[in-house]
């Protein structure tokens, strides 16, 4: 039976260490990024829908409360049928995921200033500790120089307790 020499073991350990030095940070970075896909993409879709609605109707739709009312705690959940059937969510054609697909965030839409501005939020409790991550975007509508309705999502996104 052949045994490994100290040099062969050292080379093996060095190769293993090198692979781990590359793999662990990449895995950690991908895991961290995956936690932000749902709220950022969801808010981007919500903002685009709100802008389209305001451009057509000259105002943003009415407010909608946090839906689902309690964000999933520490795991992704599938919504009950009808959860996203409210008038605002219907007007915006919005739901965070395809029907039957679990998600980890609740969303709200607050129409302000008589429908000329909005604040949209995504809130989630990814590790189930009761501390919520909050992602928020804002938008406004009005009329351009030519008098045509104009709406936009304001630049930037407010983020609170992203890693909770």
Domain-by-domain residue ranges, the chain? 1-34, 38-160
- Going from the C-alpha of 4 to that of each of 11, 13, 15, 84, 128, the distances in angstroms are 11, 12, 15, 63, 47
Number of other residues whose CB lies within 10 A of the CB of residue 92:
24
- Whether the pTM exceeds 0.85: the reply is no
Mean residue pLDDT across the chain: 87
- Cα–Cα distance for residue pair 60/156, rounded to 1 Å: 19
pLDDT (tens digit per residue) in 106-159: 999 999 988 899 999 999 988 888 889 999 999 999 887 887 878 999 999 999
Which pair of structure tokens corresponds to residue 59?
A: 């105002």
């Amino acid at each position: 039976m052949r045994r490994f020499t100290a040099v062969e073991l050292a080379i093996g350990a060095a190769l293993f260490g090198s692979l781990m030095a590359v793999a662990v940070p990449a895995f950690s970075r991908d895991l961290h990024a995956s936690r932000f896909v749902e709220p950022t993409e969801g808010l981007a879709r919500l903002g685009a829908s709100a802008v389209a609605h305001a451009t057509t109707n000259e105002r943003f739709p009415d407010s909608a409360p946090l839906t689902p009312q309690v964000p999933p705690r520490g795991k992704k959940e599938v919504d009950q049928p009808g959860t996203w059937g409210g008038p605002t969510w219907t007007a915006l054609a919005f739901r965070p995921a395809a029907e039957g697909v679990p998600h980890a965030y609740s969303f709200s839409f607050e129409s302000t200033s008589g429908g000329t501005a909005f604040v949209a939020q995504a809130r989630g409790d990814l590790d189930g500790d009761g501390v919520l991550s909050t992602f928020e975007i804002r938008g406004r509508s009005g009329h351009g120089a030519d008098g045509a309705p104009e709406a936009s999502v304001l630049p930037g996104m407010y983020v609170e307790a992203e890693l909770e």
